[in-house]
Structure 1
Amino acid sequence: MQYRDSANLDSSQVTSSSGGAGGRIAVGGVGGLVIVVLAVFLGFDPTALLAGTQAGPQQTTDSYAACRTGADIKQNRDCRFVAYTNSIQSYWGTAMTGYQPTTTRIFTGRVSTGCGTATSAVGPFYCPVDRIVYLDTGFFDQLTRQLGAKGGDAAEAYVIAHEYGHHISNLTGVLDRVQQAGNQTGPNSPQVKLELQADCYAGVWLANASKDVRSPIAAVTADDVARAADAARSVGDDRIQEQATGRIDRESWTHGSASQRQKWLTTGFTSGDPAKCDTFAA
């Protein structure tokens, strides 16, 4: 993924959190890979895995204030998270009438959210209560080392764009309707279709990321698209289940199979059109 050195970065869209160690954590009652199996890319209903709103003191800071232009990414690689977030929100600000900007909050270990207190074991997630995307960047090491993805900037950007896809579904009311439908699972469940819609929205952004001359993303290469698709496959329910347990249980799927996730990311990218992301009609 190539960055535009002259692009202005808005560091206020990315914050970091510290503290919050006093909270009670309830993320499925298990840890490590099992949590990844259950909750990787958690987004549609964080309250199912997040609990304990009594968090300890927590501070939110603008740790990315030094990220002012695209050129700063060369000196400080952390600035790429600002570039991803800015580009994603800039696109949706023009593509969606009434888009409401939010923030990406980077944390380490645990964080207090509007949906409860979460640990990094949950993986990246979107909380519809406070409308914030949460990310422990250590997940990207897990994506490559534990889940076998090739990784790279485009893979990271896909992860964040997926969570912002949930923000779009929240703003359109789709997320709320899925939550009200109950905790259904399986390859054709509303929950899976919601996750696939977020994958499609991520693909749409990827297709449009470099079209605005003000965007910090200067170019998206064929290798970038391949890495994003590879990341989508790596977090398919079937891939994760087989790696963790040696078996596949389709009826317990919450995010979709590797092929489903790649298909909808590709649909979004090849069309570049959010209207093509109606996974519920497919």
Structure 2
Amino acid sequence: MSFNDGVELDPSQVEDRRGGGVGRGTKIGGGIGGGVVLLLAALFGINPQLLGGLLGTGEEQPAQSTGTALTQCKLGSDADKDLDCRIAGTVNSLNVFWPAYLADYNVKYPRPKTVLFEGATRTGCGTATSEVGPFYCPPDTTAYFDPGFFQDLVTRFGSSGGPLAQEYVVAHEFGHHIQNILGDLDKAQQDPQGAESGAVRVELQADCYAGLWTRYATTQKDPKTGKPFLEPLTQKDLNDALSAASAVGDDRIQKAATGRVNPEGWTHGSSAQRQKWFYQGYKTGDINQCDTFSAATL
């Protein structure tokens, strides 16, 4: 979806840590083979606390440089032509939509932080590398993105690309923040693997929440200008989001990485399931219809 040109962006909601690195300290990595790392990279949204060796949680933490805001991002027209600004604009939209939506359920929305990084960065979950892919860290309530992933989404994982494919990734991570608020996120750790596991149900629910935001994003207004953040949704936009959801399905990633599909190793759900639950949120616009934990079939 394209942004309305005159919408005013708030770049202060996104911290840019690129260029500073993590300094001296923890050696990142931990014995995980390259094939597994590539697999994990595809499964964006993964809870870093489950990744073990990819994160230096048990070692000395490095110094982290202070980030800056994306000051070049001023208007919706900037978000249409610049990926950093598109991320910022999507974050702005999500931070307007969710508190208003949750207020109807008497749930308060503490605004999460958003960080752009490259290479590696220190988080409340330990030191993370870009190979983890986009993720949400519960201890510091922050969504982390290496913008390079969005190109990988197309070239490595076969997504069609497009603005809503990228916006879907951001909205998915914010879906994990909603789960953290509502007390559902820990269910992934309690049952971390398998086709019907808590981890899969957590990820599919985050997809559903991304679809829910998509339904309202074209009518949710920028409080500064009174204009909707995003222009009306087209079928191509929707197809782009569904393509991205399919590209990061466990079955598709396993097939590409190993030549076979093993549902017992799933942590995020199949391509069809990810598309189904994104569309469920988009079609219904009802958070109650995103209850993957009560669903008899996923």
Relative to the length of structure 1, the TM-score reads 0.93
Match of 1:101 among 105, 108, 111: 111
- In the TM superposition, what whole-angstrom CA distance separates every residue of 1:12-67 from its partner, at most 9, and x where no partner exists? 11111132043222366123x53232353454531222432534332232241232
The corresponding residue for 1:78 is 84
Identity of aligned residues (%): 44
For the 8 Å contact 2:2–2:163, the answer to whether it is kept is no
1:92 correspondence with 2:102 = no
The corresponding residue for 2:40 is 38
1:164 correspondence with 2:174 = yes
Aligned residue pairs, count: 279
| Paired AA for residue 4 in structure 2 | R
The corresponding residue for 1:270 is 283
Describe how 1:2-17 pairs up with structure 2 within 5 A. Answer: 2-17=2-17
Provide the aligned C-alpha RMSD in A. Answer: 1.8
The corresponding residue for 2:56 is 52
- After TM superposition, the structure 1 stretch with the greater mean CA deviation from structure 2, 77-86 or 160-169, is 77-86
Q: 1:27 to 1:86 in 2, by over 3 A?
A: farther
Instruction: Give the Cα–Cα distance (whole angstroms) in 2 for the partners of residues 72 and 258 of structure 1.
Output: 32
SS at match of 2:66: strand
| Paired AA for residue 191 in structure 1 | A
Match of 1:192 among 192, 200, 206: 200
The corresponding residue for 1:117 is 127
Relative to the length of structure 2, the TM-score reads 0.88
Instruction: Give the Cα–Cα distance (whole angstroms) in 2 for the partners of residues 159 and 71 of structure 1.
Output: 20
For the 8 Å contact 2:43–2:250, the answer to whether it is kept is no
Q: 1:27 to 1:105 in 2, by over 3 A?
A: farther
Describe how 1:132-281 pairs up with structure 2 within 5 A. Answer: 132-179=142-189, 181-182=190-191, 184-214=192-222, 215-281=228-294
Deviation of 1:220 (Å)? 2.0
Instruction: Give the Cα–Cα distance (whole angstroms) in 2 for the partners of residues 60 and 19 of structure 1.
Output: 10
- In the TM superposition, what whole-angstrom CA distance separates every residue of 1:177-235 from its partner, at most 9, and x where no partner exists? 443x24x3111101100000000000000111111232421222211111000100010
Deviation of 1:80 (Å)? 1.2
Q: Which runs of 5+ in 2 are unaligned?
A: 223-227
Q: 1:251 to 1:83 in 2, by over 3 A?
A: same
Instruction: Give the Cα–Cα distance (whole angstroms) in 2 for the partners of residues 141 and 255 of structure 1.
Output: 21
